[in-house]
Amino acid sequence: MAHWFSGEYRSSNPDVCMDPNSETSEAKKQAKRIPGEAEFWLFIMGDLLVFTVLFLFYVFQRKNNLAQFQVDQALLSQNIGLLNTLILLTSSLLVAIGVQRLRLQRQNVSRFLIGGIFFGIFFVVVKALEYREKLVSGIDLSGEYSFFMLYFAMTGIHLAHVILGILVLLIALNLSRKEQPIRYLKFVECSAIFWHMVDLLWLVIFALLYVIR
Amino acid sequence: MYKEEKYLAIIWLVLIGVSLLSWKAGASSVSAAPLWLVVPILLLTFTKVRFVVLDFMEVRHAPIQLRLILEAWLALTCLALVLGYSLDLCLPTTGNAFD
């Protein structure tokens, strides 16, 4: 990862460092390119597979204990789930625009990244309040693989990803404010890809835990 | 706002709209979600996931190998979950669930 920081980014990337209005650049923009680093995608895919196993485990545990899961699931607020979904989608949009602005060397990259980070922190606050409310209300955590055990496991692992994502975006923000921030494009792209993965995992968690009862 | 950003904003609006739709569908079900509701909710969810992958992660313009791997993950995960819920709903809801 070190070379992303060291300014080694030499563009084989057709989108970068060209007049965006010229025909050549327009044609090259159509060329296929890997966003971020190829190796980083391996990590993303590994993470996606881990979550797939978690999702399937949840569905099969629900099958084994449907009645109790339905009682417990009814205690979750769908409105809070929706709020967190809207927060993460908005955060993802801002980060995606930030990355695009950096690549095309436009203004206000950091403003969009700050917006994305702000919504990420907002997500953590809402989740913390939800956890607090659940723990105070004395929900049932007993039993092997009860709904709330799986709820805390899945949302907890996801929350750890959110916090890691915020930290990585803070580094990306710092790099985007340096001179010639385009040198750090690969790192910023990778941090954005990680952030969008956090977003898409939440979309599935929202459907499984909050919507399908 | 630049042209590419308008496109991203439209995708975001679609994602918000679809999220509201699934939230509404989930909120209106009083008892166990029936399969005819579970399957569309999962399909809508993975349609959203696909937009995030293709447009926010920019895989739409990535080499075809990367796109195929991610599309395969999407389709297989969605299928596995649909099957998981289908098996679920074939089981009786009473009986030895608490044993």
Q: Supply the CATH number for residue A197's domain.
A: 1.20.120.80
**Residues of chain A below pLDDT 70:** 1-30
Q: Is residue A84 part of a domain?
A: yes
First-to-final CA distance of chain B = 59
The CA angle A48-A110-B1, to the nearest 5 degrees, is 90
Contact check, Cβ <8 Å, B97/A100 = no
The residue of chain B with its CA nearest to that of A41 is B66
* Crossing angle of the two packed helices B3-28 and A78-103, in degrees rounded to 10: 170
Instruction: Give the count of alpha carbons within 13 A of A181, CB side only.
Output: 23
Residue B61 Cα, gap to closest chain A Cα (Å): 5
Domain membership flag for residue A18? no
Q: In this complex, do B84 and A59 lie within 8 Å of one another by their Cβ atoms?
A: yes
- Of the pLDDT bands very low, low, confident and very high (cuts 50, 70, 90), residue B26 is confident
pLDDT score recorded for residue B30 = 61
Residue B95 pLDDT > 70: no
CB contact under 8 A, A35 and B59: yes
Does any domain span residue A2? no
Tell me the chain B residues in contact with residue A61 when contact means C-beta distances shorter than 8 Å.
none
For the CA atoms of chain A, what is the radius of gyration?
Answer: 20
**B18 to chain A, minimum CA–CA distance in Å?**
11
- The domain total for chain A is 1
Could you give the C-alpha distances from B2 to A111, A115, A183, B7, B50, in angstroms and in order? 15, 18, 23, 9, 23
Confidence band, pLDDT 50/70/90 cuts, at residue B99: very low
CA distance linking residue A36 with residue A115, whole number of Å? 21
Inter-chain CB proximity A66 and B42 less than 8 Å: no
ipTM of the complex: 0.88
Question: What are the chain A neighbours of B53 within 8 Å (beta carbons)?
Answer: 196, 200
> What is the average pLDDT across B22-40?
80
Domain spans, chain B? 3-90
Per-residue confidence (pLDDT) for residue B96, from 0 to 100: 47
Identify which of B12, B11, B44 has the alpha carbon closest to the alpha carbon of residue B26: B44
Residue A45 lies in a domain: no
**Cβ atoms of residues A176 and A188 within 8 Å:** yes
Q: How many CB atoms lie within 10 A of CB A1?
A: 10
**CA A68/CA A90 separation, integer angstroms:** 34
Q: What is the band of B29 on the pLDDT scale with cuts at 50, 70, 90?
A: low
User: Which residues 6+ apart lie within 8 Å of A158 measured at CB?
Assistant: A198, A201, A202, A205
- Residue B93, pLDDT > 90, answer no
Could you give the CA distance from residue A59 to residue A61 in angstroms, rounded to a whole number?
6
Under an 8 A CB cutoff, do A66 and B85 touch?
A: no
A109 lies in some domain: yes
What mean pLDDT comes out for the span B6-20? 97
Which residues, 6+ apart, have CB-to-CB distance to A114 below 8 Å?
A173
Q: What pLDDT, on a 0 to 100 scale, did the predictor assign at position B87?
A: 78
Most confident of A65-74, A88-97, B22-31, B83-92: A88-97
From chain B, pick out residues whose CB is under 8 angstroms from the CB of A55.
77, 81
Yes or no: say if B32 and A70 are a contact pair by the CB < 8 Å rule. Answer: yes
Q: Which residues of A touch B92 (CB under 8 A)?
A: none
Lowest mean pLDDT among A51-55, B37-41, B95-99: B95-99
In this prediction, residues B5-32 reach a mean pLDDT of 88
Residue A152's domain comprises 56-211
